[in-house]
């Protein structure tokens, strides 16, 4: 793989505030939607009462242990770390006039620590959480006023960190609201499609406002969107299957189309009409949407198949999307189908469609690890998964796709989003904590730690084409 990755390729890892920080009420932090879902993004919405606890309340205690963790990332040679700012540390209820200084100070300390090692932050403004206060008092993204509250938050953090953070993302996996509306847009899970698309519209407008603000405030700042790259293949070459696949791929590409091109794609008119969906879009909204992102970022874990025949439809047990299993692919312990070539294909699809730089901001294997008696962890399955995906990234770069960087998901074990499990581990660094919250939180290097360090140090030359 010598020479395929560009010289300034941003190698690193990605985490999210609500999955690592813990300290869920520290220093004035307000409750977020994530704090109300202790069982994960598809779990029940649980009112918090004094004394109760969920695994995310402590998570891996990154809030207090970040210096040790950043030092470990630096030891692997990270050029970049993706994390998110917890909106509720800055605006605890969401609608305050002035920000919470203690929350702002925490991220100053975090970014300064990263700067010590030359690790660039890539910051998501909202990763699967928003202030619960905005849900309770305004109905979340269903209300237009949430756009203004978000813009105030975005402008506040751009001003504060404009000399420390140059790469920003607006909403994590923005297309996920179609499947988890409480997590995505703060609406009840059973909301109808009109309500969900209206809230999504408000979020798309808010994203465009953040893009504009970033361009105004952050010198040399770049801001991208973030899509769940759920690429779908037709199960057969039947034209009906192909058409259905195109339709379902448009469900998620729609978000990228608006954010990268600046307007609603033509196909959505028919989709809205035939599904009885009403969305109020003002002329001012249309103007705002014209402020487009600088780059496309996305997560990629698996591909899936589509058929027009409902009788063949069964679930591939993905955490997010129900897809028909691909008979040519193996699956992870969690039923996610492993498809490295799909990543090359997806990179090409997105680059053909948008001609904007791409950033792979999540990719990884959730697996159970075994700690040997001597404390070592031999996670060759993880090394193979990541190696094979990175080989395909190199191929896509060779195809001419402009790839800015790669941040693997969960470089340190963290709480999973879908089911709030610790046992679904993604890390190069093991954290001693189990699903019940027992454990010392001690950090330990896995075999993959040394493998990834070599990949970064060799700028990808150590990757092995195992095909």
Contact 268, 254 (CB under 8 A): yes
- CA pair distance 417, 187, nearest whole angstrom: 18
| Residue 19 or 303 with smaller CB distance to ligand BG6 | 19
Please tell me whether residue 47 adopts helix, strand or coil conformation: coil
Q: Which is nearer to ligand BG6, 193 or 317 (CB)?
A: 317
Sole binder of ligand BG6 in the list 89, 382, 389, 424 (CB under 6 A): 424
How many separate helices (H) and strands (E) can be counted in the chain? 14, 12
- Contacts of ligand BG6 in 303-332 (CB under 6 A): 319
Question: To the nearest whole angstrom, how small is the minimum distance from the Cβ of residue 298 to ligand BG6?
Answer: 10
Nearest in space to 332 (alpha carbons), one of 423, 234, 400, 247: 423
Residues 74-103 that bind ligand BG6 (CB under 6 A): none
Q: Which of 299, 363, 448, 459 binds ligand BG6 (CB under 6 A)?
A: 299
Between CA 399 and CA 359 the distance in angstroms is: 16
70 Cβ contact list (under 8 Å, min separation 6): 81, 110, 113, 114, 116, 117, 119
Q: Which of 416, 431, 433, 455 binds ligand BG6 (CB under 6 A)?
A: 416
Residue with tokens 């069982």: 39
Selected binder of ligand BG6 within 172, 292, 307, 448 (CB under 6 A): 172
Residue 120 per-residue DSSP state: E
Nearer Cβ to ligand BG6, position 121 or 366? 366
What is the Cα Rg of the chain in Å? Answer: 21
CB burial readout 251-271, b (16+ within 10 A) else e: ebbbbbbbbbbbebeeebeeb
Residue with tokens 């954010």: 259
- Would you count residue 224 as binding ligand BG6 (CB under 6 A)? no
Strands 443-445 and 403-409: unpaired
Q: By CB neighbour count within 10 A (0-12 exposed, 13-18 middle, 19+ buried), where does 367 fall?
A: middle
User: Which 428-457 residues touch ligand BG6, going by CB under 6 A?
Assistant: none
Task: List phi, psi (to 5°) of 361.
Answer: -105, 0
Select the span of 49-57, 339-347, 414-422, 443-451 touching ligand BG6 (CB under 6 A).
Answer: 414-422
Asked if 184 contacts 266 with a C-beta cutoff of 8 angstroms, the reply is no
Comparing CB distances to ligand BG6, the nearer of 176 and 279 is 176
Which residues ranging from 101 to 140 are in contact with ligand BG6 (CB under 6 A)?
Answer: 128
Shortest distance, position 4 Cβ to ligand BG6, whole Å: 26
Nearer to ligand BG6, 82 or 202 (CB): 82
Q: Given candidates 329, 343, 417, 456, which one binds ligand BG6 under the rule CB under 6 A?
A: 417
**Interface with ligand BG6 includes 418 (CB under 6 A)?**
yes
| Distance separating alpha carbons of residues 15 and 416, to the nearest angstrom | 10
Q: How far is the CB of 446 from ligand BG6 (least distance, A)?
A: 17
CB of residue 447 vs ligand BG6: minimum separation in angstroms?
21
Task: Between 302 and 397, name the residue whose CB sits nearer to ligand BG6.
Answer: 302
The region of 179-187, 269-277, 411-419, 442-450 touching ligand BG6 under the rule CB under 6 A is: 411-419
Minimal distance in Å, beta carbon 238 to ligand BG6? 30
**Encoding tokens for residue 201?**
């519209």
Could you say whether residue 173 binds ligand BG6 (CB under 6 A)? yes
> Considering beta carbons, is residue 289 or 429 the nearer one to ligand BG6?
429
User: Quick one: which segment of 69-77, 155-163, 322-330, 417-425 binds ligand BG6 (CB under 6 A)?
Assistant: 417-425
Smallest distance from ligand BG6 to CB 272, Å: 26
State which of positions 2-31 bind ligand BG6 (CB under 6 A). Answer: 16, 19
Q: How far apart (Å, rounded) are the C-alpha atoms in residues 297 and 212?
A: 18
Contact positions with ligand BG6 (CB under 6 A) in 355-374: 362, 366
Token pair for 128 = 């699967």
362 labelled catalytic: yes
Catalytic residue of the set 173, 244, 395, 421: 173
Active-site pick, 21, 244, 291, 362: 362
Quote the least distance from Cβ 20 to ligand BG6, whole Å. 10
Q: Which is nearer to ligand BG6, 192 or 333 (CB)?
A: 333
Distance of CA 421 to the CA centre of its chain: 17
Residue among 320 and 391 whose Cβ is closer to ligand BG6: 320
φ and ψ at residue 13, rounded to 5 degrees: -145, 165
Alpha carbon distance 74, 81 (integer Å): 10
Tell me if residue 173 is catalytic: yes
Rounded Cα distance between 12 and 81, Å, is 6
Hey, which residues are catalytic here? 173, 362
What residues make contact with ligand BG6 under the rule CB under 6 A?
A: 16, 19, 128, 172-173, 228, 299, 319, 362, 366, 409, 416-418, 424
């Amino acid at each position: 793989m010598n020479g395929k990755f560009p010289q300034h390729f941003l190698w690193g890892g990605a985490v999210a505030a609500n999955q690592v920080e813990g300290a869920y009420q520290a220093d004035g932090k307000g409750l977020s939607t994530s704090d109300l879902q202790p069982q994960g993004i598809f779990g029940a919405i649980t009112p918090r009462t004094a004394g109760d606890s969920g695994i995310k309340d402590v998570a891996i205690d990154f809030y207090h242990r970040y210096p040790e963790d950043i030092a470990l990332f630096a030891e692997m040679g990270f050029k970049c770390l993706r994390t998110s700012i917890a909106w509720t540390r800055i605006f605890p209820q969401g609608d305050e006039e002035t920000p919470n200084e203690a929350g702002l100070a925490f991220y100053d300390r975090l970014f300064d620590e990263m700067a010590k090692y030359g690790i660039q932050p890539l910051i998501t403004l909202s990763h699967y959480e928003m202030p619960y206060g905005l849900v309770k008092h305004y109905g979340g993204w269903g209300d237009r006023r949430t756009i203004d509250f978000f813009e105030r938050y975005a402008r506040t953090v751009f001003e504060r960190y404009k000399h420390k953070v140059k790469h920003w993302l607006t909403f994590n996996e923005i297309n996920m609201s179609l499947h988890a509306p409480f997590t995505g847009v703060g609406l009840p899970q059973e909301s109808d499609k009109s309500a969900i698309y209206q809230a999504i519209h408000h979020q798309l407008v808010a994203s465009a406002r953040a893009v504009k603000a970033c361009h105004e405030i952050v010198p040399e700042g770049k801001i991208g969107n973030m899509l769940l790259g759920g690429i779908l293949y037709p199960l057969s070459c039947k034209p009906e299957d192909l058409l259905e696949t195109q339709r379902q791929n448009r469900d998620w590409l729609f978000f990228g189309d608006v954010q990268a091109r600046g307007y609603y794609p033509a196909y959505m008119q028919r989709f809205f009409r035939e599904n009885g969906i009403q969305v109020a879009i003002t002329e001012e909204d249309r103007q705002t949407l014209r402020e487009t992102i600088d780059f496309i970022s996305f997560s990629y874990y698996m591909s899936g198949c589509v058929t027009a025949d409902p009788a063949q439809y069964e679930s591939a047990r993905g955490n997010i999307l129900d897809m028909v299993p691909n008979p040519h692919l193996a699956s992870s312990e969690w039923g996610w189908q492993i498809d490295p070539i799909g990543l090359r294909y997806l990179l090409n699809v997105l680059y053909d469609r948008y001609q904007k730089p791409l950033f792979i901001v999540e990719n990884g294997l959730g697996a159970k690890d075994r700690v040997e008696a001597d404390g070592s962890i031999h996670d060759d399955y993880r090394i193979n998964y990541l190696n094979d995906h990175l080989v395909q990234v190199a191929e896509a770069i060779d195809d001419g796709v402009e790839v800015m960087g790669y941040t693997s998901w969960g470089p340190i074990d963290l709480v999973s989003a879908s089911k709030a499990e610790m046992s679904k581990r993604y890390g190069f660094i093991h954290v001693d904590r189990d699903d019940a919250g027992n454990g010392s939180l001690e950090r330990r290097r896995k075999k993959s730690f040394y493998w990834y360090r070599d990949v970064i140090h060799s700028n990808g030359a150590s990757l092995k084409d195992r095909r």
